Amino acid sequence: WRCEHLKAYFHVGNLTYDGSKYIFEYTHHSNAPRKVREAIKNGYRLHPAFPELEKRYESKTLFPAFNRRIPSKDRIDYYKILQSLKLPKDADRMDILRKTRGIIQGDPYFFFEPLRFEEKSNLLSTSFYISGMRYRDLPSDWSEKIHLGDRLYPIHRPVDIDPYAIELHTDDQMFLGYVPAVYSQAMYSLLERNIELNFIVEELHPDYAPQWWVRVSFEATLDLKNDQTFQAEKLNDLVFYVA
């Protein structure tokens, strides 16, 4: 959820699919910054489709509140949309929601992928679009200076609305924008531990709106089970564990 007066994003809930049912739950278990309880203090009202803060909602089909954010299969250009998103023709609803972020013009809700942790390989990963690029004074030819596969470098530099803000820079020190705020505390805690964070340019769309300009893949290797000093609770609201 985006708070207009703060120009800040809050992680208010999680939507998951376990193979048989969809689950939605607010982040009410956490008192960490940028979760639903802080969002409520800043004017957030619970979604009408999910009116109870501490309830776990379940459904065998995708909740209508989310399904309406996905292009209909009845659209003539449906398969062209999938192609533009680099998705197969048989992509499921969750795949499409991840790629489109469920954005509706003028609506304050956005969807971000969770951090996926593969327990066998100890690999933490996700993908996201760089935030805040529209507010950067980038050179007119910025898109010619970065390429698919380029590595980006994180720098922690606090801002008023986010003490954990992580900037992303190119190899030649061009400041592109930020890691989305929903991940910033988690990324900051990893940097504190001197864990190597790998950010790779995955997609470039300079002709699109700024929020779609650069998509980045993220990976880091860590041992959540054996590193007892690591404050894993900073990750738990965002992590989807994969056996």
Q: Can you give the pLDDT at residue 233?
A: 52
pTM here? Answer: 0.83
Residues 55 and 133 occupy one common structural domain:
no
Q: Can you give the pLDDT at residue 225?
A: 66
Residues 129 and 237 occupy one common structural domain:
yes
What are the angstrom distances between the C-alpha of 157 and each of 45, 165, 177, 179? 30, 6, 12, 11
Q: Give the CATH number, domain containing residue 150.
A: 3.30.70.2330
For residues 33 and 39, is the Cβ–Cβ distance under 8 A?
A: no
Q: Where among 111, 144, 172 does a domain terminate?
A: 111
Residues 105 and 118 occupy one common structural domain:
no
Residues 132 and 180 occupy one common structural domain:
yes
Return the closest-CA partner of residue 235 out of 200, 201, 199, 193.
193
Q: Where among 67, 88, 111 does a domain terminate?
A: 111
Q: Can you give the pLDDT at residue 129?
A: 93
Residues 56 and 138 occupy one common structural domain:
no
Q: Can you give the pLDDT at residue 81?
A: 85
Domain, as residue range, for 46:
1-111
Number of domains composing the chain:
2
Q: Can you give the pLDDT at residue 50?
A: 96
Residues 9 and 105 occupy one common structural domain:
yes
Residues 35 and 58 occupy one common structural domain:
yes
For residues 155 and 167, is the Cβ–Cβ distance under 8 A?
A: yes
Report CA dihedral (239, 110, 211, 235) to the nearest 10 degrees.
Answer: -20
Q: Where among 56, 85, 111 does a domain terminate?
A: 111
DSSP 9: E
Report CA dihedral (180, 155, 203, 22) to the nearest 10 degrees.
Answer: -30
Residues 236 and 129 occupy one common structural domain:
yes
- Tell me the C-alpha distance between 9 and 27, whole Å: 14
Residues 116 and 225 occupy one common structural domain:
yes
Q: Can you give the pLDDT at residue 241?
A: 47
Q: Can you give the pLDDT at residue 24?
A: 94
For the chain (243 residues), the mean pLDDT of every run of 10, in chain order, is: 85 88 91 86 94 96 91 87 86 86 83 84 91 91 95 94 92 95 88 93 92 94 67 54 42
Q: Can you give the pLDDT at residue 119?
A: 79
Residues 142 and 180 occupy one common structural domain:
yes
Residues 123 and 188 occupy one common structural domain:
yes
Residues 36 and 91 occupy one common structural domain:
yes
